[in-house]
Amino acid sequence: MISGVCMHTVTPTALRKELFRELQMVACGSPLRVRTKKGNVVIVAERAFKPATKIRSGAQRVPGKIVGDLDDADKKLKAHLKLPR
């Protein structure tokens, strides 16, 4: 459960069989968890995703300004987030 919301869990095969029905359920506010060999994937409606991506006033930000090419910006962001390699 995420934030008190119960998620339906399916396999990729079951998702392919009922794709349109499952997407309609997601659009109506019911997130969907898809179990895969490499890890789980959660599908949520856009209206639920957008508020979650907004930076809140207390959120941590990358220090300074990133100026330059995208590769440089990507390296600085990865270093700031300390992503596993």
* pLDDT score at 17: 93
Residue 1 lies in a domain: yes
Q: Could you tell me which of 58, 59, 54, 76 has the C-alpha nearest to residue 67?
A: 76
Q: What is the pLDDT of residues 21-39, one digit of tens each?
A: 999 999 888 899 999 888 8
User: In terms of residue numbers, what domain contains 24?
Assistant: 1-54
Tell whether 45 is covered by a domain.
Answer: yes
46 burial level (CB within 10 Å; 0-12, 13-18, 19+): exposed
Whether residue 17 is contained in a domain is answered as yes
Q: What is the CATH number of the domain that holds 38?
A: 3.40.1620.10
Please give the average per-residue pLDDT across 63-73, as a whole number.
Answer: 66
- What is the pLDDT at residue 1? 41
Residue 66 in domain:
no
Model confidence pLDDT, tens digit, residues 53-66:
665 555 566 566 65
How many domains would you assign to the chain? 1
